[in-house]
Amino acid sequence: MTVRVAVVGATGRMGRLFVRLIDESADHELHAGLSSRDDLAGIEGADLVVDVTVPAVSPGIVERAVRAGIPVLVGTSGWSEPRLAALGTVVAEVGGPGVLVVPNFSVGSVLATMFATMAARFYESVEIVETHHPGKVDSPSGTAIRTAELVADARRDLGPVRAPHVDQRARGQQVASVPVHSLRLPGIEARQEVVFGGAGETLSLVHDTTSQTAYEQGIRVALAAAPTVTGVVVGLDRVLPLGPSSERA
């Protein structure tokens, strides 16, 4: 059966990519392509809603789709733990459908975050530097937020990371105790560096996205998985065959 997809944010960078991949898919068809300012009545009748808008409007779009009984794939940044908790309450209240939240559709980015989570237990000092194109309106990026939260979770029984002088603005924004520094520069698509500091050594995990083609594989996987998830599922790793973490909540 062909899945009818409504893309909200279809006029943006990621939205246009989604529309192209849906048009190229034998398993999906575009039900509606809406901007973030369009009437959301256009999502009615869709089998799946894709939200690739901006953090300010994303929660309202997702809640509207959930209350309409339509599964949602969220590719918008800014979904921190408090927002996810509030979304989980709405999904539980309605009794479904599922929502798949993907901070980054790049498989390489997912792997880099997994490696950072593995390293987090061995280093007390961790900082993140994320760089994106000037058109990215939110900071820190959703990927950086998710990475910081997973690093903190991996250190749950060890305590927060060591981050001196965080009262100074130049030290970045703390996310789950991890300082995050955001750069917005022309000539770049996306880059994240997670730097670990320990006695006598540093470890840097760097992921560079040089083209939007890096997102295509992850988008296809997410489009196929989103209609079948239950509850709120966060991360592309939850639907990729990457081992135990790929099991869904």
Domain of 80: which CATH number? 3.40.50.720
Residues with Cβ within 8 Å of residue 133, at least 6 apart in sequence: 184, 185, 186, 188, 189, 190
198 is in an annotated binding site: no
Determine if the pTM surpasses 0.75: yes
28 is known to lie in a ligand binding site: no
8 & 73 share domain: yes
State the catalytic residue, choosing from 28, 31, 132, 207: 132
Angstrom distance (rounded) from CA 182 to CA 130:
5
Q: What is the DSSP letter of 2?
A: P
- Bridge partners of 4, per DSSP, are 29
Is 103 a known ligand-binding residue?
Answer: yes
Same domain, 222 and 173: no
Looking at residue 80, its pLDDT comes to: 84
Q: Which helix (H) or strand (E) holds 146?
A: helix 142-154
Number of independent structural domains in the chain? 2
Q: Tell me if 48 sits within 8 A of 69, measured CB to CB.
A: no
pLDDT tens across the length of the chain (249 residues): 899 999 999 999 999 999 999 999 999 999 999 999 999 999 999 999 999 999 999 999 999 999 999 999 999 988 888 999 999 999 999 998 999 999 999 999 999 999 999 999 999 999 999 999 999 988 999 999 999 999 999 999 999 999 999 999 999 999 999 999 999 999 999 999 999 999 999 999 999 999 999 999 999 999 999 999 999 999 999 999 765 444 333
Q: Is the peptide bond before 97 cis (omega within 30 degrees of 0)?
A: yes
Q: Is 136 a catalytic residue?
A: yes
160 is in an annotated binding site: no
Residue 71: give the domain boundaries.
3-101+213-238
Looking at residue 243, what is its pLDDT? 53
- Cα(214)–Cα(248) distance, rounded to whole angstroms? 24
Let me know if residue 246 belongs to a domain.
no
